[in-house]
Amino acid sequence: MTLALIVAAGSGERLRAARPKALVELGGRPMLQWSLDALASVAGIERIVLALPAGVALPPAMRMPAIEVRSVEGGAARSDSVARALAAAGEGDPVLVHDAARPLLTPQLARAVIDALERDPQAAAAIAAVPVTDTVKRVDGDGVVRETLDRRELWAVQTPQLFRRAALERALETSAQERARATDDAWLVERQGGRVIVVRAGEENLKVTTPIDLQLAELLLAARGARGGDPA
């Protein structure tokens, strides 16, 4: 049985909203509702754990799906929120981790990540990602370009990220400083030598960080609704 964790405990300062980012209204619902509904409809996912900001209750507008949903208080850093959600999750393996900040998640993408890990017994994790289309340069503190990276090897990583539970638990057992450095959980697994494979996702699975991202997400969800909910 696959467990799903949705991390939603960030404050979302860059969005400049009055409430935590995951609860900002998007397409007429709290942002978190989109990911919750998408994951609840994936066959094999039987429990979802939400990591919420301290002292924040789910708004009455949130609708709970038919499967079991638990809530925990998130931690100081993203990976702390993952660790807390996992500790409260009960049985289940593998473990899917998703950011509430990616409301355009489709059940199809979650399924593709689950299938990819099933197909590769050596892999510790399978993660959604897209090939980078921009040219990426390493720039020093003085604003001087030090290196141009080979774009053919670069992928921009998203969530969902799916882990074999033992690998994720071991990876999270690191110092608070390392957990604070981790912008994704797969990095913690890679550092321990775990094999992490990418699953090609779409650009539309964007991360809502700034007000422009929110507008874009709104437009994409409206377009999806106009197609009758078809996520393609």
- Where along the sequence are the contacts to ligand C5P (CB under 6 A)? 7-10, 21-22, 51, 74-78, 81, 99-101, 209
CB of 30 to ligand C5P, least distance (A): 12
Tally Cβ neighbours within 10 Å of residue 20. 22
Rounded-to-integer distance, Cα 217 and Cα 210, Å: 11
For the chain, helix (H) and strand (E) counts, in that order, are: 7, 11
CB of 145 to ligand C5P, least distance (A): 26
Residue closest to 35 by CA, chosen among 231, 175, 232: 231
Q: Rounded to the nearest 10 degrees, what angle do helices 165-172 and 78-87 cross at?
A: 130
On the CB side of 116, CA atoms within 13 Å amount to 25
CB of 135 or CB of 210, closer to ligand C5P: 210
**Closest residue (Cβ) to ligand C5P?**
10
Rounded-to-integer distance, Cα 64 and Cα 190, Å: 34
CB of 26 or CB of 123, closer to ligand C5P: 26
CB of 81 or CB of 205, closer to ligand C5P: 81
CB of 68 to ligand C5P, least distance (A): 20
CB of 77 to ligand C5P, least distance (A): 5
CB of 34 or CB of 123, closer to ligand C5P: 34
